[in-house]
């Protein structure tokens, strides 16, 4: 019986080891999915020329591909810091970027075209010197216009720049040829200048520390070029985007209310695009709630330390640390803090982006909460503390039972305002590839090329949340007054 058991155990080990599936290596691609036909979101999935090429290459090299959407400004940094293996976002090869990352062989030569209004007096590119020009921040169009024409007006994405042109805020927009053609096709009040402003080569960006991946990727890319597969992929998505623009144009109506109805249907009902706002809203609420808890925890701790140091002269070293913390956090923008925490502090750690956002916004909020609460504590008459101590309470007990409750009631309106600010500050979470409420609106804009309804929807949702929060704070204030 003993030998039989040993034999069964050996068979189990043998078969479990033999059946163990080999885990494929992971390949993370980052992109800014608001640039059709190169990358855009369709039915909750990032598709386009770049994702399709990378998918095919990854499959042939034996990788499991994951794609993350983030702001264009951050895709090169994500590869450079090791947060991603490859960046694919219609990236132009430039000497400056070559210093930061390695580029694959170019896969397409693109044109930068100029869009103007139909009634514009601008007829060619030589007439751009004295007009206002819109560009997408961080793109080659941005660089070219800045160096060769004039300082442009920079927008976070192409649809916003075109919306500004359409509204008469600027005179021209410089963007890639394919998106430009789609914008003009969908808006009869716009037109393209006849000649290209400049030409550029697109390639994929890979870390300088990953030369093996670069070599393998280049080999597969050259095979796709030689076989004609690359050209077929590019043509397929250009045709698909053009057809999508035609479909969107079918929603245009001649009457005002017809336009409102068709635009609402196009932006939210068609392809269930409202889901992007719902998913983004859930992440926004999640980040805000837990950041709020962290901010309150940090704020109360720092406020107590600083108040104690001011009133008793103790905890001077901790007070110094708190002052340094407050100076740094209040002296730098929250978006910079978010990027530092994501790319530097957690640069070598694979950590959930929602958690990174919660930590970043919580630390930022804690600095402002601390000063609000400290102001409330210092506003309480010193006799209150003396009364508590005369009753036999310790300093900590007097602070907890007498001072802090009164201070909290006094600063509740200011705290409520800080919570509202925190809710709205989370709108910059898209810089680290996080799908928040604002990012949801960006995705819809990239599909419909309509800025008005997605922006209004995002604004209305934020307004509703702020009104709800203000109402809850008002109810809490009334209840505290009744308890006096």
Q: Is residue 256 part of a domain?
A: no
Q: Is residue 321 part of a domain?
A: yes
Report the range of poorest mean pLDDT among 48-57, 179-188, 331-340, 423-432: 179-188
Q: Is residue 1 part of a domain?
A: no
Q: What is the pLDDT of residue 314?
A: 83
Q: Rounded to the nearest 10 degrees, what angle do helices 452-482 and 437-448 cross at?
A: 160
| Side-chain half-sphere exposure of 172, counting CA atoms within 13 A | 30
Report the range of poorest mean pLDDT among 285-294, 448-457, 459-468: 448-457
pLDDT of 21 > 70? The answer is no
Residue 412's domain spans which residues?
Answer: 274-482
Dump pLDDT digits (tens) for 167-183.
Answer: 889 999 998 888 888 78
Instruction: Report, as an integer, the average pLDDT of 391-409.
Output: 80
Q: Where does the pLDDT of residue 143 fall: very low under 50, low under 70, confident under 90, or very high at 90 and above? A: confident
Contact assessment for residue 311 and residue 380, using Cβ atoms and an 8 Å cutoff: no
Domain of 459, CATH number, reads 1.10.3720.10
Q: Where does the pLDDT of residue 410 fall: very low under 50, low under 70, confident under 90, or very high at 90 and above? A: confident
In terms of domains, do 45 and 119 share one? no
Global pTM exceeds 0.75: no
pLDDT of 136 > 50? The answer is yes
Q: What is the pLDDT of residue 323?
A: 93
Q: Domain total for the chain?
A: 3
Q: What is the pLDDT of residue 250?
A: 57
Residues in CB range of 298: below 8 A, 6 or more apart: 362, 363, 365, 366, 367, 369, 370
In terms of domains, do 377 and 311 share one? yes
How close are the terminal C-alpha atoms of the chain, in Å? 80
Q: Tell me which residue of 252, 227, 291 sits closest to 420, measured CA to CA.
A: 291
Q: Rounded to the nearest 10 degrees, what angle do helices 353-379 and 404-425 cross at?
A: 150
Q: Where does the pLDDT of residue 361 fall: very low under 50, low under 70, confident under 90, or very high at 90 and above? A: very high
Strand partners, 155: 136
In order of 84, 237, 303, 420, 480, the CA distances from 49 in angstroms are: 19, 6, 53, 40, 59
The DSSP string of 338-366 is HHHIIIIITTTS---HHHHHHHHHHHHHH
Q: SS3 of 136, please? A: strand
Instruction: Report, as an integer, the average pLDDT of 416-431.
Output: 89
Boundary-marking domain end, from 202, 237, 258? 202
Task: State the DSSP H helix or E strand holding residue 310, giving kind and residue range, or none if neither.
Answer: helix 274-312
Exposed e or buried b for every residue in 56-65, given b needs 16+ CB within 10 A? bbbeebebeb
Helix residue ranges per DSSP H, 394-451: 395-398, 404-425, 437-448
Q: Is residue 413 part of a domain?
A: yes
Dump pLDDT digits (tens) for 41-69.
Answer: 887 889 999 999 999 999 999 999 999 98
Q: What is the pLDDT of residue 88?
A: 95
In terms of domains, do 119 and 234 share one? no
Q: Is residue 361 part of a domain?
A: yes
In terms of domains, do 341 and 460 share one? yes
Contact assessment for residue 436 and residue 280, using Cβ atoms and an 8 Å cutoff: yes
Which tokens hold the place of 126? 């030589």
Dump pLDDT digits (tens) for 225-281.
Answer: 999 999 999 999 988 887 776 666 655 555 657 667 777 887 788 778 889 999 999
Exposed e or buried b for every residue in 223-251, given b needs 16+ CB within 10 A? ebeeeeebeebbeebbebbbebbeebeeb
Tell which wins on pLDDT, 154 or 158: 154
Instruction: Report, as an integer, the average pLDDT of 310-319.
Output: 85
Instruction: Report, as an integer, the average pLDDT of 365-373.
Output: 92
Q: Where does the pLDDT of residue 22 fall: very low under 50, low under 70, confident under 90, or very high at 90 and above? A: low
pLDDT of 432 > 60? The answer is yes
Q: Where does the pLDDT of residue 458 fall: very low under 50, low under 70, confident under 90, or very high at 90 and above? A: very high
167-171, 258-262, 361-365, 372-376: range with highest mean pLDDT? 361-365
Q: What is the pLDDT of residue 11?
A: 45
Residues in CB range of 83: below 8 A, 6 or more apart: 28, 30, 77, 342, 343, 347
In total, the chain counts a number of residues equal to: 484
In terms of domains, do 292 and 209 share one? no
Instruction: Report, as an integer, the average pLDDT of 306-312.
Output: 84
Q: What is the pLDDT of residue 15?
A: 44
In terms of domains, do 78 and 227 share one? yes
In terms of domains, do 239 and 289 share one? no
In terms of domains, do 342 and 453 share one? yes
Report the range of poorest mean pLDDT among 95-99, 195-199, 471-475: 471-475
Q: Where does the pLDDT of residue 350 fall: very low under 50, low under 70, confident under 90, or very high at 90 and above? A: confident
Domain of 193, CATH number, reads 3.40.190.10
In terms of domains, do 77 and 119 share one? no
Contact assessment for residue 378 and residue 307, using Cβ atoms and an 8 Å cutoff: yes
Rounded-to-integer distance, Cα 192 and Cα 178, Å = 12
Report the relative pairing of strands 133-136 and 198-202 from DSSP bridges.
unpaired
Q: Is residue 269 part of a domain?
A: no
pLDDT of 2 > 60? The answer is no
Q: Is residue 5 part of a domain?
A: no
In terms of domains, do 429 and 454 share one? yes
Q: Is residue 113 part of a domain?
A: yes
Report the range of poorest mean pLDDT among 132-136, 149-153, 245-249: 245-249
Q: How high does pLDDT run on average in the chain?
A: 86
């Amino acid at each position: 019986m003993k030998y039989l058991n040993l034999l069964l155990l050996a068979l189990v080990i043998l078969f479990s080891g033999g059946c163990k599936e080999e885990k494929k290596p992971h390949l993370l691609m980052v992109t800014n999915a608001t640039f059709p036909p190169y990358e855009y979101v369709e039915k909750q999935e990032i598709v386009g020329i770049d994702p399709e090429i990378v998918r095919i290459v990854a499959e042939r090299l034996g990788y499991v591909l994951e794609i993350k959407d983030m702001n264009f400004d951050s895709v090169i940094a994500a590869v450079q810091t090791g947060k991603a293996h490859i960046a694919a976002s219609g990236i132009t090869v430039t000497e400056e970027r070559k210093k930061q990352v390695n580029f694959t062989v170019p896969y397409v030569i693109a044109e930068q075209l100029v869009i103007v209004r139909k009634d514009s007096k601008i007829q060619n590119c030589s007439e751009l010197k004295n007009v206002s020009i819109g560009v997408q921040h961080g793109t080659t169009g941005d660089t070219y216009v800045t160096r060769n024409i004039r300082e442009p007006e920079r927008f976070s994405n192409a649809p916003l720049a075109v919306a500004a042109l359409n509204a008469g805020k600027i005179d021209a927009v410089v963007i890639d040829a394919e998106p430009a053609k789609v914008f003009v096709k969908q808006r009869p009040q716009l037109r393209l200048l006849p000649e290209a402003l400049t030409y550029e080569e697109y390639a994929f960006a890979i870390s300088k520390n990953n030369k093996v991946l670069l070599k393998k990727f280049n080999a597969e890319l050259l095979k796709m070029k030689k076989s004609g597969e690359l050209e077929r992929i590019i043509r397929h998505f250009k045709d698909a985007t053009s057809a999508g623009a035609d479909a969107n144009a079918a929603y245009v109506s001649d009457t005002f209310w017809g336009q409102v109805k068709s635009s609402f249907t196009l932006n939210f009902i068609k392809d269930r695009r409202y889901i992007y706002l719902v998913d983004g809203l859930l992440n926004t609420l999640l980040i805000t709630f837990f950041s709020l808890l962290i901010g309150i925890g940090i704020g109360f701790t720092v406020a107590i330390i600083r108040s104690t140091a001011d009133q008793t002269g103790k905890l001077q070293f901790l007070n110094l640390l708190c002052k340094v913390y407050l100076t740094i956090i209040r002296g730098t923008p929250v978006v910079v803090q978010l990027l530092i925490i994501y790319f530097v502090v957690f640069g070598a750690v694979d950590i959930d982006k929602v958690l990174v956002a919660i930590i970043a916004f919580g630390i930022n909020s804690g600095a402002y909460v601390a000063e609000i609460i400290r102001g409330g504590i210092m506003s309480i008459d010193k006799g209150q503390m003396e009364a508590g101590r005369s009753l036999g309470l310790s300093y900590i007990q007097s602070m907890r039972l007498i001072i802090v409750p009164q201070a909290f009631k006094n600063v509740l309106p200011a705290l409520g305002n800080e919570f509202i600010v925190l809710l709205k500050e989370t709108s910059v979470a898209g810089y680290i590839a996080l799908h928040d409420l604002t990012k949801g609106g960006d995705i819809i804009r990239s599909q419909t090329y309509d800025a008005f309804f997605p922006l209004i929807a995002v604004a209305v949702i934020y307004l509703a949340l702020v009104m709800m929060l203000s109402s809850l704070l008002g109810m809490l204030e009334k209840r505290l007054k009744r308890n006096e």
